[in-house]
Amino acid sequence: MKHKNKKNIPCPIGPYSQSILIEKFLLISGQIANEINEKKIPEDIEQQTEIILKKIKIILKQSNFEVKNIIKTSIFMTNLTEINKVNKIYESFFTKNFITNFPTRSCVEVSSLPKNSKIEIETMAYKK
């Protein structure tokens, strides 16, 4: 089991690993839209979703995985009425990466997220 914190991604904001590689599985901790050198998370849920998916793609790449290796995502949102906005960005992310079979997914509403984020996404990937 390898614990990894990736370059060009903000360090975790708590006592946890950004990702863990276990044999052929890469588990990526929940990502929020904080970026290196940015003081504030964007208010817009679409921007937050785009930043998070970009971070996930970087973590995958630095672990020698690709978007096509994602098998499961878990989405946490503070307001599920914004799910259509998230779905639009989410679908575009996967189709831009030539994915036609989307990974399994759960999506739940939570009362709050770190740094007043509107969305957090965690990911599991598998590579044969």
Residues annotated catalytic, as ranges: 107
Our measurement of the distance from residue 68's CA atom to the centroid of its chain's CA atoms, rounded to an integer in Å, reads 14
Closest CA to 51 of 89, 11, 100, 108: 89
Report residue 55 as tokens. Answer: 């971070």
Alpha-helical regions (H) of the chain: 45-62, 83-96
User: Residues 84, 93: contact at Cβ < 8 Å?
Assistant: no
